[in-house]
Amino acid sequence: MIDYEAFYATNTRSAERSLIRELLKVSRTGKAMISFAGGFPDPATFPVAELKEVTQDVLATGAALALQYGPTEGDPNLRDELVKWMAKDGITTRRDNILVTTSSQQALDLVGKVFLDPGDVVVVELPSYLGGLQAFRAYGAEMVGVIQDDDGIDTNLLADALLRLRRQRRRPKFLYAVPDFQNPSGITWTRQRRERLLVLAREFECLVVEDNPYRELRFSGTAPPPIFALDGEARTIYLSTFSKTLAPGLRIGWIAGPEPVIAQCVTVKQAMDLCSPSFTQAIAAALLRRGDLLRRLPDTVTLYGRKREVMLEALEREMPAGVTWTRPEGGLFLWVRLPDGMDTGAMLREAVEEGVMYVPGQPFHADGGGRNAMRLNFSYPSESEIRDGIARLARLVTRHLPAPVHTIHRRGTSVSD
């Protein structure tokens, strides 16, 4: 029998499968499963009627281009629409500063491939987006985690971490941030934290990678400007996607940044897939040009905001003492912390047997912590499933509590609890 593993590259042998993608297989088995695990949009938000109309129009008037190979940089019409799309958030850029990617996960992979050599340092939040950690580890990067609180990354601790690295004569290639409704915690960085991050990036001479897929999904509060919009030095590389606001099946993401960086990403992407699908880019460009996505967003925000409230109410009602959670102003997720000593990874198999799924907290922590935490998604399950699923989850948590359960529980929360 052939030992195929002996032929694999070193990076391939050390690669780990995405826990979230593996969990999603369980959710598709047909079991009566309530899943809080994935970051799926609610299918009710998909613009099916508009997609039918636009697709027919694209095929009727532009099939020769839409069904052909396209430029690696992306459809020029879509890139022009992306310039307008980002302008609403105070971002001033041009077509040549944008590269269309096959989802934002490819954008993360491109960033890793362009910037990272084995042993390079990337500074990340604790917790941080699992897909980002996975992409950067694939290129041998060492992640240095900095704790966040309810206002974003703790910039005092960030300054300390950067100073320690400087004393070790190590300079991070970049600081990776998800500042709006962060995945997994749901928190949003304040403007002050964003500005301080840029000051530190300049002082310690590193780049910033801003991953911002959820910005349009705000239910309450005031939106601080993107880090990219605050950056007067072109030090920030901006990643985003329409997977959470339009439809993930289109696989439309993009990178915005300095032209030299975009040019290098284009070179690397050519070896990956030549170009992202011309057909879905043409469809997305048409939807943006017609204003369909912007017109539908308020209904999507209302739907998700209501589901968030249902989940928060269920957590207040069902969870025992000692359990805390975030109260996100938008996005798709919230973050639950159990008492110290509990292990959500060890509890997961039992949760699946109870018919409910979540993502354990440990994979989101570059330092191996977070074992007593879990990420819950509220966008995909129905309101009745949210209520039922939280009740199942609370029963499981109660069984595993290390101390007697009390009837009065804390209603406040902090990411850093």
| Secondary structure of 145-207 in HEC code, one letter for each residue | EEEEECCEECHHHHHHHHHHHHHCCCCCCEEEECCCCCCCCCCCCCHHHHHHHHHHHHHCCCE
Alpha helices in 249-291 (DSSP H): 259-273, 278-290
Compute the distance between CA of residue 241 and CA of residue 183 in angstroms, rounded to an integer. 14
End-to-end CA distance of the chain: 52
Sorting pLDDT into bands at 50, 70 and 90, what band is 8?
Answer: confident
Compute the distance between CA of residue 326 and CA of residue 387 in angstroms, rounded to an integer. 17
* Residue 30: CB atoms within 10 Å: 6
Q: What are 73-83's pLDDT values in tens digits?
A: 999 999 999 99
Q: What is the CB-side half-sphere exposure of residue 357 using CA atoms within 13 A?
A: 23
φ/ψ (deg, to 5) at 405: -80, 135
Residue 335 pLDDT exceeds 50: yes
pLDDT of residue 52: 98
Mean pLDDT of 166-185: 98
Q: What are 84-132's pLDDT values in tens digits?
A: 999 999 999 999 999 999 999 999 999 999 999 999 999 999 999 999 9
Task: Look at the block and give the residue holding tokens 């490819």.
Answer: 106
Residue 9 pLDDT exceeds 80: no
Helix axes of 19-27 and 130-137: crossing angle, nearest 10 degrees: 130
Q: What are 227-256's pLDDT values in tens digits?
A: 999 999 999 999 999 999 999 999 999 999
pLDDT of residue 417: 45
Q: Where is pLDDT greater, at 416 or 282?
A: 282
Sorting pLDDT into bands at 50, 70 and 90, what band is 18?
Answer: low
How are strands ordered across the β-sheet holding 324-325? 324-325, 333-337, 373-377, 359-360
Sorting pLDDT into bands at 50, 70 and 90, what band is 26?
Answer: low
Q: Where is pLDDT greater, at 301 or 409?
A: 301
Q: How far is CA 308 from CA 40, 232, 237, 343, 391, in A?
A: 14, 35, 30, 25, 15
Sorting pLDDT into bands at 50, 70 and 90, what band is 5?
Answer: confident
Task: Look at the block and give the residue holding tokens 């009566």.
Answer: 32
Instruction: Please report which helix (H) or strand (E) contains residue 78, including its range.
Output: helix 76-87
pLDDT of residue 408: 43
Sorting pLDDT into bands at 50, 70 and 90, what band is 402?
Answer: confident
Residue 31 pLDDT exceeds 90: no
Sorting pLDDT into bands at 50, 70 and 90, what band is 412?
Answer: very low
Domains of the chain: 15-45+295-400 (3.90.1150.10), 48-290 (3.40.640.10)
pLDDT of residue 19: 57
Q: Are strands 174-177 and 121-126 parallel, antiparallel or unpaired?
A: parallel
Residue 411 pLDDT exceeds 70: no
Mean pLDDT of 331-350: 97
pLDDT of residue 28: 46
Mean pLDDT of 177-194: 98
Compute the distance between CA of residue 51 and CA of residue 292 in angstroms, rounded to an integer. 10
Q: What are 302-321's pLDDT values in tens digits?
A: 999 999 999 999 999 999 99
- In contact, 382 and 306? CB cutoff 8 Å: no
In sequence order, the 6+-apart residues with CB closer than 8 A to the CB of 29 are none
Residue 36 pLDDT exceeds 60: yes
Mean pLDDT of 267-278: 97
Omega before residue 339 within 30° of 0, cis: no
pLDDT of residue 14: 65
Mean pLDDT of 163-173: 98
Average pLDDT for the chain: 93
Q: Where is pLDDT greater, at 414 or 326?
A: 326
Task: Look at the block and give the residue holding tokens 């409910």.
Answer: 356
3-class state of residue 34 by DSSP = strand
φ/ψ (deg, to 5) at 225: -65, 150
Fill in the amino acid letter for 248.
P
Mean pLDDT of 26-53: 86
Buried/exposed code over 273-289 (b: 16+ C-beta within 10 A; e: otherwise): eebbbbbbbbbbbbbbe
pLDDT of residue 3: 85
Task: Please give the model's pTM, rounded to 2 decimal places.
Answer: 0.92
Compute the distance between CA of residue 325 and CA of residue 186 in angstroms, rounded to an integer. 10
Nearest CA to 44 out of 253, 300, 258, 313 is that of 300
Sorting pLDDT into bands at 50, 70 and 90, what band is 403?
Answer: low
pLDDT of residue 416: 47
Q: What are 202-224's pLDDT values in tens digits?
A: 999 999 999 999 999 999 999 99
